Amino acid sequence: MRNRRSFYFWPRIDVRRTCRANSEENTWALLEQLPELEGSMPPHSPQGILYTACDAPYLDLYAHDLIRSATIHSPKQHFHFHLFDPTPEAMASLQEQIDGKRLTVSWEHVDKAKIPIQVIGPFYYQVCRFIRLWQFVRACQSPMLLVDADAIVRNDLTAGFQEHVGRDAALFLRLKHENIRRRVLAAAAMVFPTELGLNFLRDCAAFMIPYVQKSTEEPIDQMLLYFAWRWHTRNVKDFDCSQLAKTYSDSDYSDSSLVWHAKGSRKKDSMPLEKVFGP
**Could you report the per-residue pLDDT of 158-199, keeping only the tens digit for each?**
999 999 999 999 999 988 887 887 889 999 999 999 999 999
Q: Where are the beta strands (DSSP E) in the chain?
A: 38-39, 49-55, 78-84, 103-108, 144-147, 151-153, 169-173, 184-191, 241-243, 259-261
Quick check: 114 and 175 in contact, CB under 8 A? Answer: no
Single-letter amino acid, residue 272: P
- Residue 249 burial (10 A CB sphere; 0-12, 13-18, 19+): buried
CA–CA separation, 162 and 160 (whole Å): 5
Exposure b/e, 153-175, CB count within 10 A at least 16 = b: bbbebeebbebbeebbbbbbbee
Q: How many residues comprise the chain?
A: 279
Percent of the chain at pLDDT exceeding 70: 93
Quick check: 66 and 154 in contact, CB under 8 A? Answer: no
pLDDT in tens, 12-57: 999 999 999 999 999 999 999 999 999 999 999 999 999 999 999 9
Q: What is the pTM of this model?
A: 0.93
Class of domain 2-277: alpha beta
Q: Order the strands of the 49-55 sheet from edge to edge.
A: 38-39, 103-108, 78-84, 49-55, 144-147, 184-191, 169-173, 241-243
Category of 165 on φ-ψ map: left (φ > 0), alpha (ψ -120 to 50) or beta: beta
Nearest to 109 by CA among 133, 88, 80, 92: 88
